[in-house]
Amino acid sequence: MDLIRVHGGVRLAGDVAVVGAKNSALKLMAAALLAEGRTVLRNVPRITDVAIMAEVLRRLGCAVDLTTVDDKSCLVTIDAPAELGVEADYDLVRRLRASICVLGPLLARRGHVRVAHPGGDEIGSRGLDMHVSGLARMGATISNEHGYVIARADRLRGAMIWLDFPSVGATENLLTAAVLARGSTQIDNAAREPEIVDLCAMLTAMGAKIDGAGTATLVIEGVEALSPVTHHTIGDRIVAGTWAFGAAMTQGDVTVRGIDPAFLELALDKLGQAGAEVTGVADGFRVAMSGRPRAVDIRTLPFPGFATDLLPMAMGLAAVSEGASLITENIFDGRFMFVNEMSRLGADIRTDGHHAVVRGRERLSGAPVRATDIRAGAGLVLAGLCAEGVTEVGQSHHIDRGYPGFLRDLRGLGVTVERGVAPEEPEFDI
């Protein structure tokens, strides 16, 4: 088992650069399926998930090249053929839930698609009901057979669609299906995340007609065909937020560049309430904390609310703050799976349903813990910085799925950290 070993008692200080957003780049790669020819994506993070998505596209018939730009970013070139494949296999989809976003583009281009039910992080149930019902309203016939979602439509047609919840994944699939549908599609209660706006910007550059990007109502007028483009991926607000919370937790001083602070307005406001000095800088922001942070209450909500992906970092901040914090998770029913691991570091956390009460302690205690997902892994590493001794975060491959150059960035901020391999568990005769 792979692990990250971090030495505690460190104050994060220095500059760190953020590259393209994982949650945007993967969807932009899928959107390249909508146009025959060569699409180029810049500022894409060098992470495992991008490599998996590249293989998903290759098996659909695309030629995909990942060209290294530096230790954290790459250039992705996707050549989509006239005749795409129609099946996304389980062996890849189970490793990357985001690969479900090929459903909309393939259905729009080919009229027939087979996509395995997705896997991904263990953070709770994330059904496909809204994806399926929305596509059905656009004229698709959809069935589930042998672990696959199978959709057919000779030509999708525009429809009025209301989402029960502003789901990012459902919004993306319906949006990418609607751009080639016949007539007008309106998606109400659509997701408003910056990554949705980025996808709309790329689709518009390809020739799509979209109104309302960044609002709760998207209106899409279908076109006959799209053209490939070159597109620059927006900065990763979750990675940027991770460093922001790390600075506050460790009473440090960190400048984060490559991100629009507006993407993190509420999160940065919470850090200000906790006592941090938050200021804007060219192409980013600075977070400086002198003294122990104050406890703040946080509840996750769809954008522009507090991002669920930053909850583990918020939990870490609460664990070392002065006072008690109430943290409420409103998005994923399994997001608290990492709480037992953070408790191993000495955090005083009591959960009740989707609420957690965290009573802060001045110092945590290093221990071996396990990353249950991407963001939990990063949160545990940051908590380890606030602990006495050494913390070993096992299953650190999760972190590599979302944080390019993570260890190098930690070292650049003053952390002593290294990779290791955990001993194999002993076998027992039964």
**Residue 330 domain flag:** yes
Indicate whether 1 pLDDT > 70. Answer: no
pLDDT of 120 strictly over 80: no
Verify that 255 and 164 share a domain, yes or no: no
Regarding whether 364 and 244 lie in a shared domain, the answer is yes
In a domain, 61, yes or no: yes
Determine the Cα–Cα distance for residues 295 and 273; give it in Å rounded to an integer: 8
What would the mean pLDDT of 154-175 be, rounded to a whole number?
95
Residue ranges of the binding site for phosphoenolpyruvate: 22-23
In which band, very low, low, confident or very high, does the pLDDT at 334 lie, cut at 50, 70 and 90? Answer: confident
**Residue 140, in any domain of the structure:** yes
Which stretches within 63-119 are classed as H helix?
90-93, 103-110
Predicted model pTM: 0.94
Residue ending a domain, among 192, 211, 232, is 232
Distance CA 302, CA 154 (A): 34
The pair of structure tokens assigned to 55 is 């293989």
Residue 180 lies in a domain: yes
The residue segments making up the domain with residue 6 are 2-18+236-421
pLDDT for position 423: 67
- Same domain (yes/no): 11, 28: no
CA 214 to chain centre: 18
Q: Enumerate long-range contacts of 286-290, CB under 8 Å, 24 or more apart.
A: 286/253, 286/254, 286/255, 286/256, 287/243, 287/244, 287/247, 287/248, 287/253, 287/254, 287/256, 288/247, 288/252, 288/253, 288/254, 289/247, 289/248, 289/250, 289/251, 289/252, 289/253, 290/251
Do 223 and 342 reside in the same domain of the chain? no
The stretch 30-40 carries a mean pLDDT of: 98
Same domain membership, residue 264 and residue 223: no
Q: Which of 121, 198, 253, 373 is catalytic?
A: 121
Q: Which DSSP string do the residues of 360-419 spell out, in sequence order? A: --S-EE--EEE--SHHHHHHHHHHHHTEESEEEEE-THHHHTT-TTHHHHHHHTT--EEE
Q: Is the peptide bond before 45 cis (omega within 30 degrees of 0)?
A: no
Domain boundary among 212, 232, 252: 232
Q: Is residue 225 part of a domain?
A: yes
CATH value at residue 70: 3.65.10.10
Q: List Cβ neighbours of 148 (8 Å cut-off, separation of 6 or more).
A: 87, 90, 114, 115, 116, 117
In the annotated binding site for UDP-N-acetyl-alpha-D-glucosamine, the residues are 97, 309, 331
Only one residue has tokens 């400048």, namely: 255
Q: Let me know if 15 is a catalytic residue.
A: no
Indicate if 208 and 347 belong to the same structural domain. no
Same domain, 79 and 53: yes
- Provide mean pLDDT across the span 333-349: 92
The answer for residues whose C-beta is within 8 angstroms of residue 295's C-beta and 6 or more apart is 274, 318, 321, 322, 323, 324, 325, 358, 360
The reply to whether 110 falls in a domain is yes
Q: Identify the burial level of 406 via C-beta atoms within 10 angstroms of its C-beta, where 0-12 means exposed, 13-18 middle and 19 or more buried.
A: buried
Are 398 and 415 contained in the same domain?
A: yes
Between the alpha carbon of residue 56 and those of residues 87, 94, 286, the distances in Å are 9, 11, 38
Does residue 219 surpass a pLDDT of 90? Answer: yes
Residue 265 CA, chain-centre distance (Å), reads 17
pLDDT digits (tens, 9 = 90+) for 320-329: 999 999 999 9
Q: Give the pLDDT score at 126.
A: 53
Last residue of a domain, one of 185, 205, 232: 232
Mean pLDDT of 358-379: 95
**Residue ranges at the known binding site:** 22-23, 97, 309, 331
User: In this structure, are 254 and 217 located in the same domain?
Assistant: no
In a domain, 79, yes or no: yes
Give me the residue label for tokens 């007028």.
Answer: 221
For the cut 90, the answer to whether the pLDDT of residue 427 exceeds it is: no
Same domain, yes or no: 121 and 201: yes
The token duo for 91 is 């062996």
Q: Tokens standing for 266?
A: 């509420």
Structure tokens at 244: 């922001």
Q: Is the pLDDT of residue 121 over 50?
A: no
Mean pLDDT on 164-183: 96
The answer on 37 and 144 residing in a single domain is yes
pLDDT band at 98 (very low <50, low <70, confident <90, very high): confident
Q: Phi and psi for 334 in degrees, rounded to 5?
A: -115, 15
**pLDDT number for residue 147:** 80
Determine contact, residues 268/296, Cβ cutoff 8 Å: no
What average pLDDT is seen over the chain? 93
In order of 100, 118, 151, the CA distances from 38 in angstroms are: 22, 27, 26
Q: What total of structural domains would you count in the chain?
A: 2
DSSP summary character for residue 427: P
Tell me the mean pLDDT in the region 202-209: 98
125 domain residue, yes or no = yes
430 pLDDT band, cuts 50/70/90, is low
Q: What is the pLDDT of residues 222-263, one digit of tens each?
A: 999 999 999 999 999 999 999 999 999 999 999 999 999 999
- Residue 175 has what pLDDT? 98
Average pLDDT, integer, range 416-425: 82
CB atoms within 10 A of CB 293: 24
Q: Give the chain's radius of gyration (CA, Å).
A: 22
Q: What is the mean pLDDT of residues 69-97?
A: 90
pLDDT of residue 96: 80
pLDDT at 106 over 90: yes
Assess whether 369 and 262 both reside in one domain. yes
